[in-house]
Amino acid sequence: MSTRPRTVHTSPRSPQALRSRALPIALACLLAILALTLVVDDALAANSAADVGRNLGGLLKTWATWLFGGATAIIAVTHLGRRDVAGALVFAGMAILVGGFVLAGPQVADFIRGIYEFADTGR
């Protein structure tokens, strides 16, 4: 007779499996709550509802700027890694064009608004 140790198969719903997954989930939830309180703290510190919206808009614009810059850098590195100079130049042109319109200041927004008003009214 063989005296091999018996393997124990645990169910995904067993208490041991649930306990082993509970700690990472709890830490992720705690980290998410902490991040939200740190991020929203500046927006909620405003004096009025209009200031909260303005602060939150500024925060989201800052995040969009960093995300756009990071994604642009990653994609540019892939073009350069493949030594695809033509693709990299086309991508750089598109990134400058899109970034210029999306992340533009109020002057560019007024210019675009003027173009739309001219197209709409003819004046």
pLDDT in tens, 63-103: 888 888 888 889 888 888 888 888 888 888 888 888 877 77
Contact 43, 56 (CB under 8 A): yes
Say how many CA atoms lie within 13 Å of 90 toward its Cβ: 5
Which residue carries 């989930």 as its tokens? Answer: 25
Q: DSSP readout, 12-27?
A: TTSHHHHHHHHHHHHH
Owner of token pair 């067993």: 14
pTM over 0.85: no
Q: Quick one: pLDDT at residue 17?
A: 66
